[in-house]
Amino acid sequence: MRLPSLRSLALLPGAALLPVLLVAQAPPPAPRGIVLADLTWQEAERVLTPDAVIVIPLGAQAKEHGPHLRLDNDFQLAEYYRGRVLAASAVIVAPTVNYHFYPSFLEYPGSTHLQFETAKNMIVDIVRSLAGYGPRRFYVLNTGVSTARPLAAAAEQLRAEGILFAFTNVLAVGSAAEERVRQQVRGTHADEIETSMMLYMRPDRVDMSKAVKDDSPQGTGGLTRVRGNEKTYSPSGVWGDATLATREKGRVVVEAIVTEILAEIEALRRQTTP
């Protein structure tokens, strides 16, 4: 069957709407970034150049987040940021790392944890593997707090090898936006802010009917289900007030975080390798 030409369509009733319809059906813009896993090795060889910036998403796929969020909460965060970075930045995105250093949550079933040296060495080995083909700039889309210590140790080790390595500091990015919307007294885990972020990113992964306030004064050594020791007491696994979460708060914080992550990646791109 022969399709009608645009000229003939223009003569039809309602033709004035045609340009609007054609624009509405236009495909979305192609992502600026490249997914490493989608390439053949020959294609990878062409793009893994000394000027390339490699992004490695990092988020626990099994770590407690209270009664209202799933164990894969940090993995979902990492995957979301991965998609936003791919769409906006000319980077090469490596596969997501879903295990790392999470010692603070082991009293809560399902939570997983790698020893400090194991977590550090795993990242170093991944970076070294890819750096061997040319790239000298690496950025970890980090979604954890405890992960910062082994990542900082990895950065120091890799710098001595002439490799630039940076990662997201989750306590710093988006902090100004958090201050504008935060109502809870204290908290940083499965709390008002993290729950709000998930309501914006993946509302299907949140059950607000089970959200709780669990904000005992902060101790040392992570969360505990047992009263009376030096750790932060939390029978639910929440530290903060998840009941205060809203999607709008999440939008404000997430968009600020994405903007700052993209700025950090571009700053890394401009840096001179050691």
Give the model confidence (pLDDT) of 2-33 as tens digits: 444 444 444 455 555 445 444 556 676 777 99
Whether residue 21 is contained in a domain is answered as no
Q: Does 223 map to a domain? A: yes
Query: Is 12 a member of any domain?
Result: no
Domain count, the chain: 1
Instruction: Evaluate whether residue 16 is within a structural domain.
Output: no
Asked whether residue 167 is assigned to any structural domain, the reply reads: yes
pLDDT tens-place string over residues 67-107: 999 999 999 999 999 999 999 999 999 999 999 999 999 99
Residue-number span of the structural domain to which 152 is assigned: 30-270
Give the model's pLDDT for residue 6.
42
Residue 5 inside a domain? The answer is no
Q: What is the CATH number of the domain that holds 196?
A: 3.40.50.10310
What is the percentage of the chain residues whose pLDDT exceeds 70?
90
Computed over its alpha carbons, how large is the radius of gyration of the chain?
Answer: 22
Q: Report yes or no on 1 lying in a domain.
A: no
Q: Are 102 and 145 in contact (CB under 8 A)?
A: no
Beta strands in the chain (DSSP E): 34-35, 53-58, 92-93, 137-142, 164-167, 213-214, 223-224, 232-233, 240-241
What does each C-alpha distance from 200 to 76, 83, 103 come to in angstroms?
A: 12, 15, 28
How far apart CA 24 and CA 15 sit, in angstroms, is: 15
41-54 pLDDT per residue, tens: 999 999 999 999 99
Give the separation between CA 268 and CA 85, rounded to whole angstroms. Answer: 14
Let me know if residue 95 belongs to a domain: yes
